[in-house]
């Protein structure tokens, strides 16, 4: 399970993408999620896949790691794809099943929705794979700094988001351990009636919640023992520095947006 989970994990490296300022990476990911909806034909999607593929390959993160990362949400992607295929009307009817019809427009929309899922997942996970939790926290705090004017606890909010991402792999690992322990005690999760399977989840959820609250309590005690009192008056050991490569990354997204506008149907 841990080999398939990529959200929230960080892989140390020395690629140019690892050295990019976290503020630039966070801004680039948010901008990419917005412009991905500009693509509406196969040429624009091919352009976006080429852009993402270049980032993935130059990040020096194994490509198979991204492929495995799609497996935990495979069913979500499949359900979305089927809804688009069967319930989108228009175009030539290829298969008529009465209430359900498969049309050329439905297939096209389903394929494009699949492409959007893959592109967004690759970009968001690339952010966490190449950015350490500390850098991610500092970057989020800097980006949200203007909200201090309305008395928003920016530092605490950025820290909460970073810790949440960091603990996703930890909780998945804990879930796997509990799952194996329950199976060793004779609990069946994959056989029997659906009602029995749902009831079998309870012995999995209860210890998982207890473990999560225990980890949260231990983390709070550790932070208090180290003198953490919030963001007010805190200094930083590592200072963020904006470089030309950071500007170049954002410029590349502006160029990509212009090309998508030009190539749109």
pLDDT band for position 55 (50/70/90)?
A: very high
Per-residue pLDDT, 69: 67
- The confidence score (pLDDT) of residue 44 equals 92
Return the pLDDT at 5: 58
- What the block records as the tokens of 20 is 């990019």
Confidence (pLDDT) at 54? 93
Confidence at 3, pLDDT banded by 50, 70, 90: low
pLDDT in tens, 151-193: 888 878 887 877 777 777 778 778 888 888 877 777 676 666 7
d(CA 189, CA 182): 9
Q: What does pLDDT average to over the chain?
A: 82
Q: What is the DSSP string of the chain?
A: -TTT--TT------STTTTS-HHHHHHHHHHHHHHGGG--SHHHHHHHHHHHHHHHHHTT--HHHHHHHTGGGHHHHHHHHHHHHHH---S-EEEEETTEEEEHHHHHHHHHHHHHHHHHHHHHHHHHHHS-HHHHHHHHHHHTGGGGGGT--HHHHHHHHHHHHHHHHHHHHHHHHHHHHHHHTT--SSSS-HHHHHHHHHHHHHHHHHHHHHHHHHHHHHHHHTT---STT---SS-----HHHHHHHHHHHHHHHHHHHH--
pLDDT tier for residue 233 given thresholds of 50, 70 and 90: low
> How far apart are the C-alpha atoms of 158 and 136, rounded to whole Å?
8
CA end-to-end span of the chain: 41
Assess whether pLDDT exceeds 80 at residue 105.
Answer: no
Rounded to two decimals, the pTM is 0.75
Which pLDDT score is estimated for 6?
62
The predicted structure's pLDDT at residue 1: 47
- pLDDT for 20: 93
259 vs 199, residue with greater confidence: 259
Give the pLDDT of residue 51: 95
pLDDT over 90 (residue 24): yes
Q: Does residue 112 have a pLDDT over 60?
A: yes
**Pairwise pLDDT comparison (172 vs 72), residue with the higher score:** 172
Domain ranges of the chain: 16-131+241-264, 154-226
Q: Which long-range contacts (CB under 8 A, 24 or more apart) does 107-113 make?
A: 109/84, 109/85, 110/81, 110/82, 110/84, 110/85, 112/39, 112/40, 112/45, 113/80, 113/81, 113/84
Is the pLDDT confidence value at 53 over 50?
yes
**40-49, 73-82, 131-140, 234-243 — which one is most confidently predicted on average?**
40-49
Q: Residue 86's closest CA among 103, 70, 72?
A: 103
144 φ, ψ to 5°?
-85, 0
């Amino acid at each position: 399970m841990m080999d398939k989970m990529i959200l929230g994990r960080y892989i140390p490296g020395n690629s140019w993408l690892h050295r990019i300022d976290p503020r630039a990476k966070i801004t680039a990911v948010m901008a990419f999620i917005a412009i991905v909806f500009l693509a509406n034909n196969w040429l624009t999607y091919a352009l976006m896949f080429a852009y993402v593929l270049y980032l993935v390959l130059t990040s020096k993160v194994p490509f198979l790691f991204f492929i495995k990362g799609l497996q935990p949400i495979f069913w979500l992607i499949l359900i979305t794809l089927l809804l688009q295929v069967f319930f989108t009307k228009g175009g030539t009817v290829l298969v008529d099943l009465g209430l359900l019809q498969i049309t050329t427009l439905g297939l096209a929309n389903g394929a494009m929705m699949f492409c959007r899922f893959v592109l967004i997942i690759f970009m968001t996970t690339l952010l966490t794979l190449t950015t350490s939790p500390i850098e991610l926290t500092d970057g989020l705090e800097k980006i949200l700094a203007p909200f201090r004017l309305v008395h928003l606890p920016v530092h605490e909010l950025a820290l909460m988001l970073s810790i949440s991402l960091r603990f996703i792999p930890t909780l998945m690992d804990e879930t796997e351990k509990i799952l194996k322990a329950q199976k060793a005690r004779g609990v069946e999760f994959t056989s029997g009636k659906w009602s029995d399977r749902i009831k079998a989840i309870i012995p999995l959820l209860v210890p998982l919640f207890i473990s999560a609250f225990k980890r949260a309590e231990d983390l709070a005690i550790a932070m208090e023992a180290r003198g953490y009192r919030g963001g007010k008056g805190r200094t930083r050991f590592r200072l963020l520095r904006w470089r030309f490569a950071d500007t170049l990354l954002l410029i590349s997204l502006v160029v990509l947006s212009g090309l998508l506008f030009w190539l749109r149907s």
